[in-house]
Homo-oligomer: A and B are copies of this chain.
């Protein structure tokens, strides 16, 4: 109601982060319908996949095309670009710079670089490259809940002097609470007064939307989300909740509801993401969801107590 969020932009990550759920097995029709949806809904960016190189990643052959975006393919998928800008994510050490066309020859507008705190220097080299080729850039620092203050302050020194447009606070494990986010956002704002900020949340403890809303009100500008929350493990902040609740006349929730009805509800019957107890447990313990993902792939998928005991028994937990 009384939110001050007109500065915000939504970055829909359904295809990119949702691809981690179904190995990027989205049809062209799905992606085209999603792009149309996001345009009609007024969503600012669509992250349509990864721009990593298949040569630099194992198991690449089985993945859908959204894992290794090709610029020519993209032009076939989106022959008529609308107002929604296109974004791609890259990981350190997995991108071939020869794959990156000048922005004028690509449909992509924004390239985001994901990294852990110790790789911020390498990430900023990539950011410089993409910036020089004309793209908007973001630096997405993952797993911030596991970063010590001194490491963060060292990273700020590098970031402050870089060309990066937006710096992301990424809660990879879904462990951060509103207070934690407020603390981090104020720290980022203090050390990086010349940078815009972004937020990427996970829904392990049902806090993804709340944390995003609170970040928006504190001045964070780019807000990651995905339709019906589709994303790895517990998933992300829901695009429909942001579109419905951010105070900005350009947003319209109706097309997002249509996408959910036509595509996401049937897809959720086949693929799993969301608030599921093993993901809640890794969230509350502030650790990577990989153990919970393995559990959900096994016959013991609902054995919550055994799982909790394994993660909290000292001799086992120490080897995490």
With a CB–CB cut-off of 8 A, which chain B residues contact A180? 1-2
Q: Are B206 and A208 in contact (CB under 8 A)?
A: yes
Given A179-B3, A284-B244, verify A265-B308 contact (CB < 8 Å): no
A-B contact pairs, 21 of them (CB 8 A): A1-B177, A1-B179, A3-B179, A178-B178, A178-B210, A178-B214, A205-B209, A205-B245, A206-B206, A210-B210, A240-B277, A240-B280, A244-B280, A257-B277, A257-B281, A257-B304, A260-B277, A261-B302, A261-B303, A265-B302, A275-B275
- Say yes or no: is A213 at the interface (Cβ < 8 Å to chain B): yes
Minimum C-beta distance from A291 to chain B (A): 15
A73 within 8 A of partner (CB): no
A-B residue pairs, 4 tightest by C-beta: A210-B210, A257-B304, A244-B284, A261-B304
Is B210 within 8 A of A305, CB to CB?
Answer: no
Q: Given that A1-B177, A210-B206 are contacting pairs, would A305 and B244 also be in contact in the complex, using a CB cutoff of 8 Å?
A: no
Contact A245 B206, beta carbon cutoff 8 Å: no
The reply to whether the CB of A203 lies closer than 8 angstroms to some CB of chain B is yes
In the assembled complex, the Cα of A258 lies from the Cα of B238 at a distance in Å of 29
A232 to chain B minimum Cβ distance, whole angstroms, is: 18
State the CA gap A1–B309 with chains docked (Å).
21
Q: Which of A10-60 contact B (CB under 8 A)?
A: none
Set of chain B residues within 8 Å of A208, measured between Cβ atoms = 206
**Residues from chain B with Cβ under 8 Å of A240 in the complex:** 277, 280
Q: Interface extent on A, as a size class?
A: 35 or more
Q: How many copies of the shown chain assemble into the complex?
A: 2
Cβ distance A217 to chain B, nearest Cβ, rounded Å: 7
The interface residues of chain B lying within 8 Å CB-to-CB of A203 are 206
Cα distance A213–B281 in the bound complex, in angstroms: 18
**Which residues of the partner chain B approach A107 to less than 8 Å between Cβ atoms?**
none
* A55 to B: closest C-beta gap in Å: 40
List residues of chain A with CB under 8 Å of any chain B CB: 1-3, 177-180, 183, 203, 205-211, 213-214, 217, 238, 240-241, 244-245, 253-254, 257-258, 260-261, 265, 275, 277, 280-281, 284, 302-305, 308-309
Give Cα A244 to B308, complex, Å.
12
Chain B residue contacts of A205, Cβ below 8 A: 209, 241, 244-245
In the complex, how many angstroms separate the beta carbon of A318 from the nearest chain B beta carbon?
A: 19
Query: Closest CB of chain B to A123's CB: distance in Å?
Result: 27
Known contacts A2-B179, A206-B208; can you find 16 more A-B pairs with CB under 8 A?
A: A1-B179, A2-B180, A177-B213, A178-B213, A178-B214, A205-B209, A206-B210, A210-B211, A241-B280, A253-B308, A254-B305, A257-B277, A257-B281, A257-B304, A261-B302, A261-B304
